[in-house]
Structure 1
């Protein structure tokens, strides 16, 4: 029987997945919204497996465009494994895993190859950035200050 992690651990996995989505989006990558059927779009897909076993965790995969996936699928179905689209599709998956791994590692995430036959060309996110480390893309204090605001407040107080 499938057992899920406790609610607190599930919430922590979801929070980690949100941070991963945010960081990949900040890098300019298209990110599939949680729950969107990947048949509708391409981009980074962040998945939470809340199983209470070694296969659970946060995973990142890459979905090429629906058109490229359809072409590769057609080649597989018809037995044309030497079709260039098969090689190209695989090369894209490998390249995007390397790129997303580098982006996440640079942002302070711990990542590794998923090492799971059911998750080929996917990453497992082990940890998020250190606690208290704000994202590099977060609004800065000088961006929050409204020009002229302090002068206007001081004038009103006089």
Structure 2
């Protein structure tokens, strides 16, 4: 059976503080920022959240959230093998450039930001203080 181990309350509080500061930096740069990973349906902009896990999966993360219509169209194209379609290329362009942009802005604001090394979410950014 899988056992989920959470970080200490102190560690989670530190992560929440870091996430709040990262969200504020992105808000100051003009981005719409969302903090509740469980309430992102329809939300577009930067998603900033804390994973409370007590291992390498835990930490503070940022990801760009595009419109559901563009996402759905890109998924349909991918399922049909049409990865050269205009919609899929646009989805890829936006995702790659927003990943780079968010990373650069967070670094400019004084954070350590980089690839989260998550195979299931290739454009996920890990933020450290």
Q: Which residue of 1 aligns with 2:105?
A: 103
**Using the alignment, how far apart are the partners of 1:75 and 1:5 within structure 2?**
40
> Greater shift after overlay, 115-124 or 36-45?
36-45
TM-score, normalised to structure 1's length? Answer: 0.74
Q: Which residue of 1 aligns with 2:68?
A: 66
Which ranges of structure 1 fall in alignment gaps of 5 or more residues? 128-158
Work out which of the two has the higher radius of gyration on C-alpha atoms and give 1 or 2.
1
**Using the alignment, how far apart are the partners of 1:35 and 1:96 within structure 2?**
18
TM-score, normalised to structure 2's length? Answer: 0.89
- 1:7: how far off? 0.7
Which ranges of structure 2 fall in alignment gaps of 5 or more residues? none
How many pairs were matched up? Answer: 127
Q: Which has the higher contact order (CA 8 A, sep 6+)?
A: 2
State whether residues 106 and 113 of structure 2, in contact with CA within 8 Å, keep that contact through their aligned partners in structure 1.
Answer: yes
Q: CA RMSD of the aligned region, Å?
A: 1.5
Q: Which has the higher strand share?
A: 2
